[in-house]
Each structure stands twice: as C-alpha cells, then as structure tokens.
Structure 1
Amino acid sequence: MSTQAVSRQPDAEKMQALLHQAVCDLGAAMHSVLLVIGDRLGLYQALASGDRMTSAQLAQRTGTFERYVREWLNANAAAKYLEYDAATQTYFMTPEQAQLLSRGDMAMDLPGFYHFIASCMKDEEKLTEVFRTGKGFGWHEHEKGLFEGTERFFRPNYLANLTTSWIPSLHGVEAKLRSGARVADIGCGHGASTILMAQAYPKSEFFGFDYHDASIEQARRTASQAGLSDRVHFEVAPAQAYPGSGYDFAACFDCLHDMGDPVGAAKHVFRSLKKDGTWMIVEPQAADSVEANLNPVGKIFYSASTVCCVPASLAQEVGAGLGAQAGEKKVREVVLKGGFTHFRRAAETPFNMVFEARC
C-alpha cells in the first residue's frame, strides 16, 4: 500500500459523525414525500386542533385508509412532527407543530417547500442531463409542483415582513404607496407579493410581470378572487422588457439571481422608474464567500440553486448564473451596472436580504 493510500485512511470518530449526519439526512429525505401526502390529504390540518386521535379516527375524519394513515402517523411521530401517547395509542400536534405544518399564513409553510422538493425530484433525470450538456433548464420546464411550492414557501415570509418592516425600511417609499403610487413587481410568479402590497396600500396601482404564462394566469385568478382586478394587473413579460414607465416603485422578490441577464433587467428597471423612484431587491440570505455560507441555510439555498436557480439562468440569454447564494457584493455590482448610484442593505431576515437601489 502506498504512503498516499495509508494517509487516506478514515478517522473512526469522524466517520461515525458523518454516518450519523447521513442517517438524519436519509430520514429527512424519505420523510419528505410523507409531508406532501399529508398536506394534500389534510392530515396535518385535521390534527392541528390538538385533539388526540387514533389512526382510525384520523382516517375517518379525512376520508383515508386507516392502515396507510397508521404508518404515516408513526413516521411523523418518529420525525417529531407530531406526538404519540402510548397509553391511549393516540396522536396529536403541539401548537408549534401545528403552526409550522398546517397554517400557511404563519411564519413558515413547511409542507409548501416539500412540494418544491418533490417537483425537483420528478425532474431529476432531466437535471442530471444538463449537468452533462451544460444546457439550461427553464423555470417553465419544471413539474408544476415547483410553482405552488415556491409561492407557499415564500409567502409567509412576505406576509410577516413585507409591509411591516421591509417597505418601511426604504426611504420615502411607504409614504408614496399610502398616497398612491405606480408599482412594478418584476418576476412576480403567482402574484403573492403583488397582492399583499395591494391589500396594504389601497390607493396604489400594481403591475405584476413574469415570463411564465401559467403563473400569470394563476396570479390573475387570485387577484380576481381577492377583488383587486381593478388596480392589480398581471402581464406575461420578461424582466428586461416589461411594459410601462413612470413607476414610483419596483420590486424583485427572490428572482434577480434566477435571471439570465440580471444587468439587462437592472438597466430596464432604471429606465422604467421615475427619477426619484426606488427599486427593492429581495434576495436569499448569503455572505460573499463560499466558506461563510457553509451552514444549514446555505445547505438549503445551494441545493435549491443547483436544481432550480442556476439552470433557470443558463436557459436564458446571457446566462449569468448568479445562483441563490450570490451575496451582497455581486448584487451590488449588478445594480450599479444597471445605472443606479445608490445601493444599500435596508433590512434582513434569517432567509432574506433586502436591498434599496435609487438613481
């Protein structure tokens, strides 16, 4: 055996620690499909009241088959996503479990993100191929669960922060919105951010743009159901060429890094704003160096970026491929190349950075 081979022998304690991590990751991966199933069938919602139920009672309440439900309950109890009372052989959820797993308008819609994961797993063969070819994989090419999952994952964060802390952190923007402003929401997806702003600022008019026609159709339906169609408008358009000008305020929510030509988008935002207009850019939380992002949040965002964000960018013209962990320095470069002269970090959460750009 060579000297090099001897030096590559694994350390037993480090191997054990890595195996422990792998077992936890394997459990999380196997459990992910159960979160999607439980969400679709209303199992978490039925348990959210805190009532203690047997598997038969939960199956009866949700119109499902008891034997499957029993196994599902035991898996969730092992995952600590619900509680099991051995004395009565019943299952229940704590308030904390109920909030994360069944109340999408609260701090986090956990099952929503698992719809995102399930969609990417369904696209695995296609994504594997682009690793070989270097081609992109457009947002519109993903299985449809990606679009629902993305909105459900981000919407609670927007609901908690958008109008309470993010917009108030921008110089003079909230006053304009309260008195009546023209707003462009670029890369709006299903329109969750657009509609939340419209509900908070009834004197303003909102225009949502996204290149994905199916998302725009869903956004229009949601706006109509909310009674906002008279001042919330959605249109299929790319970030580099959306229509209109004279906007007081523009926003990009968790999408600038997905764009093939983020600098081109920045230039178009600059042209479309009034001279005293403001652009808010919300991006995933990230430091400027790889080593600073090697943490649990970075694990999520680098993984999502690999299967969604970078492929989406490479599928478009220019194909900048910034990725979800681009960091403030790269975002600043994009914004300044777009013509803006003022850039600052205005707010942040554990999952997002909020930047203000002005002429």
Structure 2
Amino acid sequence: MVPVACTVTPLSVDACTTIAWSSRSRPPQPARATTPIATTPTTAIALGSVFITTVCPMEQLDPDKLKLFSFLLFSKLEGAVTSGMVHLGDQLGLFKALAAAPQPMTTAQLAHVTELNERWVREWAYNQAAAKMISTVNTPTSTQSITDDTFYLSPEQTAVLATDTHPAFGMGMFHRLPQTMESLKRMPESFRTGIGHNYDSHGPEGAVGIERSFEPWTNANLISAVLPALDGITKVLDTGATVADIGCGAGGAVLLMAKAFPQSNFTGYEISQYALDRASQKLKDSKLTNARFNDARINPLPADHSVDFVTTFDCIHDMTHPAEMMHAIHAALKPNGTWLLVDIKAHDTFALNMQKNPMAPLMYGISVLSCMSSAMSTTGGAGLGTLGLSASTAESMAKAAGFSHFRKLDIDHSVNAFYEIRP
C-alpha cells in the first residue's frame, strides 16, 4: 500500500480530495459515498480495496507555524543523515584524502586515491558540500559536466575532520555513531524496566570512539595547561607520587602523565573490558614501566589514604553510584592529596541548560543513548546523566563525601568543567 497525502475538509467521504492508502495494483478510485459520516478526530473508512483516512483537527492550525515546525523536524533528520555521511567520510579516508590533496579534487580523483566507486563518492560529496562539511569550487555553466565539480577542505575543516592530533578534532563521536544509534533498539526495554546498558554494550568500536574523542584535546592540554592550574601538583609529580586515574578508558591520560613524570607511578582503573584491552595494548607499545591498568572490579582503588593524586575525566556522571565513588576517592587520598574532577559543564536546572547551553539537545540525547544509560545500568543506579553534575551538585556531593576544598579551575574548554578538590 502506498501512502498518499489526504486533504482534510468537513466530514463526508467525498470531501477527501486525495485518497490515502491506495492499492499499488491499480490507481486510486474515486470515492462514491456522499453521506456524511460521524467520525472521531481520526477515522479510517474502507471502500472495497481502497482506504480513505480523514483527520479532524482539534483546533485551527496556523499554516506558517505548521510549515516552520515541519521544517524544524526534518532539519533534525537532515542532521542525522548527514552525521552518517560524516562517519563514512572518516571511516573511508575521504576527509584525509581531501586534506592531503594540493588542490581541489573531482570526485573521480577522490575515488581513485581512496580506491572507492566514483558514483558513490560523488553522491557523498554532494551531501557533505550541501551540508557545508566540505567545500566546493562550484561555478556552474550551461556546458559544465557534473564530473567537473571539485571539492576541498578549508583549514578549519581540515583541523576538525582530518587532523587527529588537533585539539579540535571531532571524529570520535562520529566514529562510534553506528554503535550509539544501535542502542536505540534496546531503548524501549530500558524505558520500561528502568535498567540501562553499560559502555561495553557498544562493543570495541565504542571504546575506540571514546578514545578518539578524548585524546586529541588531552594530549595538547593536560600537561601544559591543566596540571599547572592545580596548586602544587606538577612539583609533587616531579618528585614522585602515587597517582590513580579512575575511569581511565583506553589509558591515554595515564600514559601521557607517566611519560611526562617518570618519577611517579600511575594506575588506571576501568570496568570496560574493551577499554582495558586498548589500554593494555597501548601500555605494551609504549614500553613505560611506571604505569599499569586494573580492572576496578578485581583490583579496586585502595582505601588506605596512600594516593597523592586522583583524576576522573568525564566519567563520574556515567557511574551507577557516583556518591559511593566520591567516598572511595576520599578514602584513597592522603590528607594532603588532590582530586582533579573533570566533567561536563552543566547548569542546575533544565531551564538553565536549555537557555544557556546551545548543545543541550545533543547532550540530553547522548545521555539517553550513552551516559544516563550507563548510570542506570544496574538496579538503583543514580542516573545523573550527561548534564547531571553541575558545579553546585559536584560540590555538594564532594562535601558529603568528606572533602572540604572545592575550586573551579579557569580552563578553557567548550564542553568540560575542571575542579580541584581536596580533603
């Protein structure tokens, strides 16, 4: 059956100017009934093999507002589809090929260097250029062939799309887009039961995507900007300290600090097996001897006040029991120890997040699919969610765990807030 638009007018069958749901096997037949039919707001009328749907609006619609909302809705679908094309551009090496080219490329040239089919590359390039993800030299003439269009990356596009060492590199979230969206299939069950899914449910590529999201900015700024902003920490690390990175993921921060401060010893704690596998391989490749990684379920954080410095990067809001973790951090730290808490910038209320955070829709959506899902992956999970750890919430929870010092650091980051916390 093929859906066809139906114009809504008063309640007689012949008032429907276009038949909805007509048979594929024959063209729609004209409706013959003329007797007014009493209907509810939506009524389906069967006439032989033809189905007519009439819709009675409960109130008069503003046509301009209707058009605007329809446009808004489908702009979200455009973004979703374009995100899929960004994922393909990253995975297939199309962005890197454009970035490496000395001049704009035709799709035939781009297909050649990436060893892909030109027709598919062309349609991809049209989407990305129309969405302004890539740039085009487009001066159409009446004789121009479609194969004459050329495409390139601006310096800014190159940084974000094709330079994985640049702090602004943005492909990590797109890397794990299929795994993130795959979780939609599990969401109805979570909505009914209240139980979410941990990060390992996203598979090994989910761990790689998080790694690619986290490490470019961290590699560029952790040693040079973040640690010096903490009172006395670089001196402690230079002298020799015991350091714990909780929720260490693929181990990027641990290995970065271990290399920079060879006198100190670093332990990463993680519960994602896929992330631990990545961290172990990277440790082996690095040949560092002052770093190690623990499955926190088997070898948890010590509770003997023996740790000088604890770090948590973007993970407290993901935890099922963040308050208990804060108590564990307090029990691990020396009386003069320091905890660096890095987490998502958030305001205290939904209204403020909506008003002041232009990425609020993205954050709340990612929360359902990833962050809050993880934070509710066991019975009784706290479910803070992506925007659930505002500065005041973090400070209140830290003080409840026994900490007395809480200071927000002046670190420039588009998404994260940085806090220095001490017993």
TM value normalised by structure 2 = 0.78
Distance apart, 1:59 and its partner CA: 1.3
Closer, same or farther: CA 145–65 of 1 in aligned 2, 3 Å: same
Rounded to whole Å, the distance in 2 between the matches of 1:148 and 1:8 is: 50
Rounded to whole Å, the distance in 2 between the matches of 1:286 and 1:9 is: 39
Say if 1:187 and 1:211, in contact at 8 Å, map to a contact too.
yes
SS at match of 1:241: coil
Report percent identity of matched pairs: 33
Q: Which one has more relative contact order, counting CA pairs under 8 Å at least 6 apart?
A: 1
Unpaired runs of 5+ residues, structure 1, are none
For residues 58-96 of structure 1, the C-alpha deviation after alignment (integer angstroms, 9 at most, x for no partner) is 111111111111111111111111122235422111111
Closer, same or farther: CA 107–20 of 1 in aligned 2, 3 Å: farther
Residue matched to 1:29: 80
Residue matched to 1:334: 397
Residue matched to 2:295: 236
Distance apart, 1:117 and its partner CA: 2.7
Residue matched to 1:127: 187
The amino acid of 2:308's aligned partner reads: D
Rounded to whole Å, the distance in 1 between the matches of 2:279 and 2:193 is: 34
Moved over 6 A (4+): none
Distance apart, 1:240 and its partner CA: 10
Q: Are 1:304 and 2:356 matched, yes or no?
A: no
Rounded to whole Å, the distance in 1 between the matches of 2:188 and 2:204 is: 19
Q: Return 270-279 or 231-240, whichever deviates more.
A: 231-240
For residues 190-214 of structure 1, the C-alpha deviation after alignment (integer angstroms, 9 at most, x for no partner) is 1122222223323322100101122
1:157-176 matches, cutoff 5 A: 157-176=217-236
SS at match of 1:296: coil
Unpaired runs of 5+ residues, structure 2, are 1-9, 11-55, 140-147
Residue matched to 1:267: 327
The amino acid of 1:329's aligned partner reads: S
Which residue of the other structure, out of 30, 51, 56, is the alignment partner of 2:108?
56
Rounded to whole Å, the distance in 2 between the matches of 1:124 and 1:104 is: 28
Rounded to whole Å, the distance in 1 between the matches of 2:119 and 2:394 is: 51
Which residue of the other structure, out of 410, 419, 422, is the alignment partner of 1:347?
410
Say if 2:203 and 2:274, in contact at 8 Å, map to a contact too.
no
Distance apart, 1:239 and its partner CA: 11
Distance apart, 1:242 and its partner CA: 2.5
Closer, same or farther: CA 13–154 of 1 in aligned 2, 3 Å: farther
Which residue of the other structure, out of 276, 281, 286, is the alignment partner of 1:221?
281
Say if 2:207 and 2:274, in contact at 8 Å, map to a contact too.
no
Rounded to whole Å, the distance in 2 between the matches of 1:338 and 1:12 is: 55
SS at match of 2:300: coil
Rounded to whole Å, the distance in 1 between the matches of 2:213 and 2:113 is: 27
The amino acid of 1:285's aligned partner reads: K
Rounded to whole Å, the distance in 2 between the matches of 1:317 and 1:184 is: 27
SS at match of 1:347: coil
SS at match of 1:248: strand
Say if 1:240 and 1:268, in contact at 8 Å, map to a contact too.
no
Rounded to whole Å, the distance in 1 between the matches of 2:224 and 2:275 is: 26
1:157-196 matches, cutoff 5 A: 157-196=217-256
Q: Return 233-242 or 171-180, whichever deviates more.
A: 233-242
- Greater gyration radius: 2
Rounded to whole Å, the distance in 2 between the matches of 1:347 and 1:8 is: 52
RMSD across aligned positions (CA): 2.3
Rounded to whole Å, the distance in 2 between the matches of 1:10 and 1:179 is: 71
How many equivalent pairs are there?
355
SS at match of 1:276: strand
Residue matched to 1:207: 267
Rounded to whole Å, the distance in 2 between the matches of 1:184 and 1:13 is: 57
Say if 1:185 and 1:252, in contact at 8 Å, map to a contact too.
yes
SS at match of 1:190: coil
Rounded to whole Å, the distance in 1 between the matches of 2:392 and 2:291 is: 33
Q: Return 242-251 or 112-121, whichever deviates more.
A: 242-251
Closer, same or farther: CA 199–260 of 1 in aligned 2, 3 Å: same
The amino acid of 2:395's aligned partner reads: R
1:243-254 matches, cutoff 5 A: 243=302, 245=304, 246-254=306-314
Rounded to whole Å, the distance in 2 between the matches of 1:156 and 1:171 is: 24
Q: Return 349-358 or 104-113, whichever deviates more.
A: 104-113
Q: Are 1:70 and 2:122 matched, yes or no?
A: yes
Say if 1:181 and 1:203, in contact at 8 Å, map to a contact too.
yes
Distance apart, 1:55 and its partner CA: 1.2
Q: Return 232-241 or 96-105, whichever deviates more.
A: 232-241
Rounded to whole Å, the distance in 1 between the matches of 2:219 and 2:176 is: 19
1:2-17 matches, cutoff 5 A: 9-17=60-68
SS at match of 1:123: helix
Q: Return 236-245 or 303-312, whichever deviates more.
A: 236-245
Rounded to whole Å, the distance in 2 between the matches of 1:240 and 1:256 is: 19
1:102-113 matches, cutoff 5 A: 102-113=162-173
